[in-house]
Amino acid sequence: MKQSLYESEKQKLDKLSSFKLPNYFKKIGWTIFGVTLILVLIFKIIENPNPIISTICKKGMLVGLLVIALAREKVEDEMIEKLRGKSFSAAFIFGVLYALVQPLVNYFVGVTINSEPTTYSDLGDFQVLWFMLFIYVMLFKLYKRIA
């Protein structure tokens, strides 16, 4: 009984952690990411953008990258699974380091360049998540190329 409960929980967890979208979602993900990235860049140039649209575009970028990350390869075999694992772990570590170091860099650069007092501020969730997902997608591409 105890064993079967453990097995059932393990199966559920395995199913959840190995969830993948069909391969064609990769194109959808890149399209969402590309369109929202262009819009975000336009809103950086145009003065006083609508904050709601700007927020939706930023979330759209995250959704696009997440869809790319979850999209299945044409042949999803054990080597691809291993490369995914390596890319995810490296992206996670880089993400944490980025969240810790980047605010300090911003602060010290601010102190050095500005004569006015600079305040220390942590990165927002968007910046950290964007960085982690982007690093994951790029590392996965790189690992696949050199595999």
Partner 1 sequence: MTNTIKVERAILDMTQEDLAQKIGVSRQTINSIEKNRYVPSTVLALKLSQLFGKPVNAIFNLEGTD
| 86 interacts with partner 1 by CB under 8 A | no
| 141 interacts with partner 1 by CB under 8 A | no
Question: Tokens standing for 118?
Answer: 């600079």
How many helices (H) does the chain have, and how many strands (E)? 5, 0
CB of 79 to partner 1, least distance (A): 4
Which listed residue (4, 74, 116, 119) binds partner 1 by CB under 8 A?
74
How many residues make contact with partner 1 (CB under 8 A)? 10
| 75 interacts with partner 1 by CB under 8 A | yes
| 77 interacts with partner 1 by CB under 8 A | yes
Question: Tokens standing for 53?
Answer: 């649209």
Question: Tokens standing for 109?
Answer: 């650069």
| 142 interacts with partner 1 by CB under 8 A | no
Which listed residue (73, 106, 107, 128) binds partner 1 by CB under 8 A?
73
| 40 interacts with partner 1 by CB under 8 A | no
Find, among 90, 115, 118, 116, the residue nearest to 104 by Cα: 118
Residues with Cβ within 8 Å of residue 92, at least 6 apart in sequence? 132
b/e per residue, 37-51, with b = 16+ CB within 10 A?
bebbeebeeeeeeee
| 79 interacts with partner 1 by CB under 8 A | yes
Residues of this chain that interact with partner 1 (CB under 8 A) are: 73-75, 77-80, 82, 144, 147
